[in-house]
Structure 1
Amino acid sequence: MSHSSSAPSPSVAPVSAPMGRYAMLWRWHFYAALFVMPLLVILGITGTIYLYKPQIEAVAYPSQLYVPAQSTPRLPQQILYEIAQDNTPAGVPVLTAEIHNAPDRSAQFTYLDPNEGKSSVFLNPYTGEVLVKMPTLNFNATYWIGLARQIHRGLLLGKTGEVIMELAACWTLIMIGTGVALWWPRQKKGMKQAIKPDLSKRGRPFWREIHATLGIVLAAGAVFFVMSGLPWTSTWGAQFKQLVAQVNLGYPPDPPGAVSARHEGHEGHEGAQASATRVQDLPLEHTAWGAGLLSVPNSTLPAEGQQGQPDHHSHGAHAGQGAQSTDAHAMHAGHAMPAATSETAEPITLDQVMTLAHANHIPDEYSIALPAGKTGVYSVSYYPGDPTGEKVINVDQYDGSIINGVAYDQYGLIAKVISFAVSLHMGTYFGWVNQLLCAIIALGLVTMAITGFIMWWKRRPAGSLGAPRLPAALPSMRGWMIGLVIFGVIFPVTGLSMLVVWGLDRLYLARYRRSMALGTTTV
């Protein structure tokens, strides 16, 4: 409808300069929240599910993951592998052995099912009985947990979903920044009142109290969550990793021939008390790493068929797995297996590889990728909750010598920081307390989104978007504009979306000014 210009505009309000800046910040906060709110709910819920992966899987999949502990020895890992290989559909090769030495854990081997994709076969390690064969979604997460992780990463929309989630993360930072600015007390006695919500209020003011208090309490944790997740996004994260690799501050490449599936962050950085999950990292262009970073004498290997499992288990995390090992002839010069060796020698057993891993301080909860063909290598990947223990080693499949490896000490400075951030983000660094703190932040952000929606719905005029009113005169916001421009340059995809929002907002403002000049406004 339309009315005369003498009536006050519902979208343009004459205010002082400070209140004008407040109005513009509120407007940007509104735009950010409008986009982020539904995605925060998804991220918070799926992230919390994945935080408690070990506990959920223990309840949801007890007959697959666990067996009654027995006093008799477990079957050799090599025998279990052969049983698993005999039970893959159409004889597809087993890709990895997931090592869990706890006496009540089943044996797990992964393979690529022709119809269902990534799958696992679980065996009773004492009898060799096949417990179940089931799809496990990318890299050692049981199906429903894996589904939650895939939604968390990209809404099951592939590259499009990953870009949407990257935008959501960056716009969350804008929402937090503008939200803190809106909250910041403008009166000398306002700080205490701002931190302590007034629960006596009713209606929209009540929800505003909850929203504001939660927002300021969770702000630091939310920023950490976003920043620790951004290196694993598919666009900005990929470019960031390449940049830090070029200045020798990132992750070195996995050893030639390795399939460690290192550091995919949200794709599964597991911690204590859990079997972990990883997916193949984006390759980093980096200076080549010399072979022989880790080594033990060949005499440490047990005789053929000897049980090689350590006597104890520490519930650390392991890496997930990727595809089978690549041809060892792609390794550095001097480290490819001689052709004569691959023709005449017999491969060592998985039990011998396990003994070698244990001698290199890899006790439990790790992944062994099987050699691909006669010239392949064993790749052992270990990612405990404490990032300083992370390592990947390549093992000659015939003589058991360690060809090369990469350990935490070889990471660049930024890679080391990211490793710790990922462990904290995934709730694996200091046990259940870490899980609890992450869950509080994640579910707190869900609550923030819900309370924000309720506030908007209660304030929104019928049939209108209900964006905060524009000030009659645009205030000077040079500092904010400079900050947002820098932010947009650092995160170009988000910067482009910010330009779109800014342009639409200016068109909206111009429309009202023209309407007011003509003597009518349209609601």
Structure 2
Amino acid sequence: MQKHKHLNRWLWKWHIIAGLITLPLMILLAVTGIIYLFKGDYEDSVYSHLKQVEIGAETLPYADQLKAAQASAKQPITSVILPAEPTQATEFVSGMRRGKSTIYVNPYTGEALGAVKAADTLMMTVRKLHGELLLGKGGTYTVELAASWFVVLILTGIYVWWPSTGFSLAGFFTVRTSKGKRIFYRDLHSVLAFWLSVFMLVLLSGAMPWTDIFGSQLKWVQAQTDTGYPKTWQRPVGLKSVVHGQPMTLDAAVDVVKARELKGRITIKLPKGPEGVISVSNRSLLLRHQEVLHFDQYSGDLIRRHTWDDVGILMDMRQVAMRLHQGEYGLISWYAVLLTALVFALSTLAGLVSYIKRKPVGDWGLPKVPDHWRVGYGIVALLVILAVVFPLFGASLILITVFEKLKSLKST
């Protein structure tokens, strides 16, 4: 690939700008992301006295366990999560959103072991720091802005690093140690970042659906193209039970669910009101094994069933990306995310040291591009596409361009 001299310097300039905008924050996101990867291990350890029980002679009816959970809950019980192993407590969820709590009940003794409010846990704080910097909406916009610019950082970095002439396979792996500290840190940054680029783009694709503006756009596209969840996947909209006789007991509902032999973590949502339905969902390792079932709360008849085949392609891709982002496809996936985050932090620090050693004192050290040179239509088209896909990037790009123009006018 023959590189244009002025285009290379122009992209190098924007690579540095993107780095200054994103890297300090991205280090924080990498660190908090690494911590959050250990959420399962941490909570299994800290809450083991609630989650784990000794196996008894016989489990009590779920109806009795429900009574014990409701007696200790401050809000109505809305759902039950079935234990997957004999040593696990039954989980009953009460409340909604930030007020939601999980009450753990020993299925052998019926004792309510305690409750955990998700919003008050350490890992929820880490997650909120990772996603919104503990600053609410302003924080989510800041994280989204940094993530948008990070895409630019990766794309420009690949072009700038790519050799102009004399292509050599060794260049993809070599970090020079005899050319001084600046060259050493620059090579360390560029070689590691190049090999990380694909992994980082995958992780970013899994993070962006959680953002406010891009995420809202994605949901709108899914709604317009019917490529998201079916209407009754998450809530039984328009579905009703036929009121007759007495509702099924929770134990009868569990028997109906177990007959389906669903894989993974099974959640049963209790009906709301006399006409409400019993909704069942499972979270499994593979998306294709997930289902949503809605039952009549009186007869136990199946009213609506959804399999993953009913889910649109955009939601399918979104869920795959989000699970990859969290390392949820087994140990290999988990270690891949952990290693990517660790190497990214090292590469980022190396790039920062290289930049500080290169830039003159009292100057930003941005590469100079001739005033008469203009980028081609292809680059402009790419910037427009990125600005449309990532609106916060587009808005910030306009502000930076205006600032640059005013600065150049002032200097003349």
Calculate the TM-score normalised by the size of structure 1. 0.72
Code of the residue aligned with 2:391 in structure 1: it is P
**What is the distance in 2 between the residues matched to 1:504 and 1:43?**
28
Alignment of structure 1 residues 258-337 onto 2, 5 Å:
258=236, 331-332=238-239, 336-337=240-241
**What is the distance in 2 between the residues matched to 1:128 and 1:457?**
63
Alignment of structure 1 residues 52-451 onto 2, 5 Å:
52-68=38-54, 70-89=55-74, 92-112=75-95, 117-137=99-119, 143-255=121-233, 257-258=235-236, 331-332=238-239, 336-339=240-243, 341=244, 345-429=245-329, 431-451=330-350
Gap runs ≥5 in structure 2: none
Alignment of structure 1 residues 444-459 onto 2, 5 Å:
444-459=343-358
3-state SS of the aligned residue for 2:318? helix
**What is the distance in 1 between the residues matched to 2:109 and 2:179?**
65
Q: Judge conservation of contact 2:80–2:93 (CA < 8 Å) in 1.
A: yes
Report the Cα offset of residue 31 of structure 1: 1.4
**What is the distance in 2 between the residues matched to 1:228 and 1:201?**
38
Of residues 28, 34, 59, the one that matches 1:48 is 34
**What is the distance in 2 between the residues matched to 1:42 and 1:65?**
31
Report the Cα offset of residue 511 of structure 1: 3.5
Q: Judge conservation of contact 1:108–1:123 (CA < 8 Å) in 2.
A: yes
Please give the per-residue CA displacement for 1:28-51, whole angstroms capped at 9, x wherever unaligned.
111111121122122222222333
Q: Judge conservation of contact 1:470–1:509 (CA < 8 Å) in 2.
A: no
Q: Judge conservation of contact 1:255–1:394 (CA < 8 Å) in 2.
A: no
Report the Cα offset of residue 86 of structure 1: 0.4
Please give the per-residue CA displacement for 1:96-129, whole angstroms capped at 9, x wherever unaligned.
2122221221222222399x82222222222122
**What is the distance in 2 between the residues matched to 1:56 and 1:200?**
44
| 1:22 corresponds to 2:4 | no
User: What does residue 266 of structure 1 align with?
Assistant: none
Q: Judge conservation of contact 1:357–1:363 (CA < 8 Å) in 2.
A: no
Report the Cα offset of residue 228 of structure 1: 2.6
Q: For residues 193 and 476 of structure 1, do their structure 2 counterparts lie closer, same or farther at Cα, with a shift above 3 Å needed?
A: same
Report the Cα offset of residue 202 of structure 1: 4.1
**What is the distance in 1 between the residues matched to 2:299 and 2:393?**
52
Q: Judge conservation of contact 1:109–1:121 (CA < 8 Å) in 2.
A: yes
Higher relative contact order (CA 8 A, sep 6+): 1
Code of the residue aligned with 1:136 in structure 2: it is A
Code of the residue aligned with 2:25 in structure 1: it is L
Q: Judge conservation of contact 1:387–1:423 (CA < 8 Å) in 2.
A: no
Code of the residue aligned with 1:500 in structure 2: it is L
**What is the distance in 2 between the residues matched to 1:56 and 1:463?**
46
**What is the distance in 2 between the residues matched to 1:98 and 1:202?**
59
Report the Cα offset of residue 54 of structure 1: 1.9
**What is the distance in 2 between the residues matched to 1:47 and 1:352?**
41
Report the Cα offset of residue 93 of structure 1: 0.4
**What is the distance in 2 between the residues matched to 1:420 and 1:61?**
29
Of residues 346, 349, 367, the one that matches 1:469 is 367
3-state SS of the aligned residue for 1:393? strand
Code of the residue aligned with 2:275 in structure 1: it is T
Q: Judge conservation of contact 2:294–2:302 (CA < 8 Å) in 1.
A: yes
Gap runs ≥5 in structure 1: 1-16, 259-329, 515-523
Code of the residue aligned with 1:87 in structure 2: it is S
**What is the distance in 2 between the residues matched to 1:49 and 1:366?**
27
Q: CA RMSD in A?
A: 2.5
Q: For residues 177 and 256 of structure 1, do their structure 2 counterparts lie closer, same or farther at Cα, with a shift above 3 Å needed?
A: closer
Report how many residues are paired: 409
| 1:493 corresponds to 2:392 | yes
**What is the distance in 1 between the residues matched to 2:251 and 2:358?**
66
Code of the residue aligned with 2:65 in structure 1: it is L
Q: For residues 511 and 21 of structure 1, do their structure 2 counterparts lie closer, same or farther at Cα, with a shift above 3 Å needed?
A: farther
Code of the residue aligned with 2:348 in structure 1: it is A
Calculate the TM-score normalised by the size of structure 2. 0.91
**What is the distance in 2 between the residues matched to 1:461 and 1:376?**
69
Code of the residue aligned with 2:340 in structure 1: it is I
Report the Cα offset of residue 507 of structure 1: 2.8
3-state SS of the aligned residue for 1:97? strand
Q: For residues 474 and 61 of structure 1, do their structure 2 counterparts lie closer, same or farther at Cα, with a shift above 3 Å needed?
A: farther
**What is the distance in 1 between the residues matched to 2:79 and 2:172?**
54
**What is the distance in 2 between the residues matched to 1:62 and 1:200?**
53
Q: Judge conservation of contact 1:257–1:331 (CA < 8 Å) in 2.
A: no
Q: For residues 376 and 509 of structure 1, do their structure 2 counterparts lie closer, same or farther at Cα, with a shift above 3 Å needed?
A: same
Code of the residue aligned with 2:323 in structure 1: it is S
Q: Judge conservation of contact 2:283–2:290 (CA < 8 Å) in 1.
A: yes
3-state SS of the aligned residue for 1:470? coil
Q: Judge conservation of contact 2:70–2:77 (CA < 8 Å) in 1.
A: yes
User: What does residue 276 of structure 1 align with?
Assistant: none
Higher-helix-fraction structure: 2
**What is the distance in 2 between the residues matched to 1:376 and 1:436?**
43
Code of the residue aligned with 1:41 in structure 2: it is I
> Structure 1 vs Structure 2: percent identity of aligned residues?
29
